[in-house]
Amino acid sequence: MTTEQSLGARLRALRESRGMSARSLAEALGISASAVSQIERDVMRPSVARLIAITDALGVPLAEVFEAPGATSERRTGASELEHAGIALTRAWESSPVTLDGGVTFRRLSPHRTQGLDFFESVYPPGVTATIGDVGLFKHEGYEIGNVVSGELTVELDQDVVVLAAGDSISYPCSVPHRIRNAGPRPAVATWLIVHP
């Protein structure tokens, strides 16, 4: 099963584990129950903004979508030997990216779920924007810190537009309306840390 095929199943399992119906989630997101069904059946990929809206509505951290339901760190190479010391390990080949609308990929960088933190890498193809349909800027829970590894990302904030090149960093409260896009000619790779309240 590919990562794209498993994203919808992961979102459905998260919704069901929260005791929320597809209709209730749709109402919270302001979309149709049919759209929720299409996302959960992998017919439609959510945008970055929509994925964050879904995890916020479900009350779960973004990191939850990177692991299949029931997955444990015990299956990771070397994890069982290190867990006794509070150390976690994930090999590069064990970390599968999640592909979203527009070809944006997210890959969790933390080797296990960390309470209150999401640490991940994003890759934005040229011309792609993290947005929900025609909605411009969006906001969500937490505090965000980003660092561009390669390429160039434009971060549109409520009253500012910042272009980040490789090595540049930015931080802002996620409650500030924002949007991230790649206006450059090459894929943009960045690492992000979201601290949840």
Q: Say which CATH number the domain at 183 has.
A: 2.60.120.10
pLDDT recorded at residue 82: 56
Task: Report if residue 33 sits inside a domain.
Answer: yes
Task: Report if residue 77 sits inside a domain.
Answer: no
Mean pLDDT across 24-49 = 92
pTM over 0.75: yes
Summarised one tens digit per residue, pLDDT across range 47-88 is: 888 998 899 899 888 888 876 544 444 444 444 455 556 777
Residue 14: band (very low, low, confident or very high) from pLDDT cuts 50, 70, 90? very high
Task: Report if residue 73 sits inside a domain.
Answer: no
> ∠ at Cα 73 (66, 142), nearest 5°?
45
Burial of 132 (0-12, 13-18, 19+ CB in 10 A): buried
CB burial of 157-189 (b: ≥16 within 10 Å; e: otherwise) equals eeeeeeebeeeeebebebeeebbbbbebeebbb
Is a pLDDT exceeding 60 seen at residue 133? no
Q: What is the count of structural domains for the chain?
A: 1
Task: Report if residue 127 sits inside a domain.
Answer: yes
Expressed as residue numbers, the domain containing 34 is 3-68+86-195
Task: Report if residue 81 sits inside a domain.
Answer: no
pLDDT recorded at residue 125: 96
Task: Report if residue 187 sits inside a domain.
Answer: yes
Residue 29 vs residue 81, higher pLDDT: 29
